[in-house]
Amino acid sequence: MEALYYTLIATILVSLISFVGLFFASKFVHKYMRLMISFAAGALLAAAFFELMPESARSIGIENALLLTLAGFVVFFIFDRFIFWYHCHKNHCKVHSFTYLNLIGDGLHNFIDGMIIAASFMTDFALGVSTTVAVVLHEIPQEISDFSILIYGGLKKKRALMFNFLTALTSIVGALFVYYFSLNVEMLSGFLIAIAAGSFIYISGSDLIPEIHKEEHLRLSITHLITFLVGILLMWVVGGFFH
């Protein structure tokens, strides 16, 4: 039972990291929103290519990981093009579909984080602590980018904060799933990680990067490029130190 207590404490802590986006984004949400989207686009791509896809490949093999990443990309394209597009045109909603796609992808990502934390604490307390620290440090830039995407997509600050926190709570669900149904967890997490990677690539490539291309001034375009690269670099550095 001790492993369960430690796991719940750790996943609650990780869930609270979702509020970090409010601290950063609330100060710059209007003036620097396009820059934040540039950062988010780079961070999502880096998370997919540097963390999720390699982790999935180690679990289920490179061919399966690539196939499921592509499948995740296609599934989110279908959601975006036919389901959310139809809903918004029928109801004239002002929220971009990529906000909902991001919530789904981020929920999967957090669910997997919870699974990893639970499995670590069930193995060894020290391993659980180090894994929790790694997840927290990964989540800080991720949550900043997620909050930025929700705000840019049309959600008000309070609703963006609430939805971001709700998706963060899926880490607790993932942890409980592992604790009570620990058989074949590695295989399942490999499948989910690859699908999450596909969703991140789709959101970044189809929704966020086109928004960056709307900038017409050369100086600002260079600034957006630098911010985009900073998002990639930050995720790579954090992943390298705290994998």
The share of the chain scoring above pLDDT 70, in percent, equals: 80
Q: Which of 97, 39, 67, 62 lies closest to 198 in space, CA to CA?
A: 67
pLDDT exceeds cutoff 80 at 211: no
For residue 96, give Cα distances in angstroms to 78, 102, 163, 173, 210.
Answer: 15, 11, 15, 27, 13
- pLDDT range class, residue 71, cuts 50, 70, 90: very high
Domains contained in the chain, number: 1
Gap between the Cα atoms of 35 and 225, Å rounded: 9
Gap between the Cα atoms of 87 and 66, Å rounded: 31
- pLDDT range class, residue 86, cuts 50, 70, 90: very low
More confident site: 130 or 176: 176
Range 31-44 burial, b when 16+ CB lie within 10 A, else e? eeebbbbbbbbbbb
Task: Find tokens 């289920």 and name the residue.
Answer: 60
pLDDT exceeds cutoff 50 at 87: no
pLDDT in tens, 22-37: 665 555 555 667 787 8
pLDDT in tens, 213-233: 877 788 888 998 999 999 889
In this prediction, residue 156 carries a pLDDT of 79
pLDDT in tens, 149-182: 787 777 777 888 888 888 889 999 988 888 877 6
Q: Which of 227, 232, 202 lies closest to 97 in space, CA to CA?
A: 202
Which pTM value belongs to this model? 0.68
> What range does the domain containing 82 cover?
2-21+30-241
In this prediction, residue 73 carries a pLDDT of 93
Tokens of 58: 């180690």
Range 118-127 burial, b when 16+ CB lie within 10 A, else e? bbbbbeeeee
In this prediction, residue 23 carries a pLDDT of 62
In this prediction, residue 127 carries a pLDDT of 67
Highest mean pLDDT among 15-24, 72-81, 117-126 belongs to: 72-81
Q: Across residues 123-128, what is the average pLDDT?
A: 74
pLDDT exceeds cutoff 80 at 145: no
In this prediction, residue 137 carries a pLDDT of 63
- pLDDT range class, residue 102, cuts 50, 70, 90: confident
pLDDT exceeds cutoff 60 at 43: yes
In this prediction, residue 93 carries a pLDDT of 52
Q: Which amino acid is at 43?
A: A
For residue 4, give Cα distances in angstroms to 34, 106, 125, 176, 222.
Answer: 42, 24, 11, 8, 48
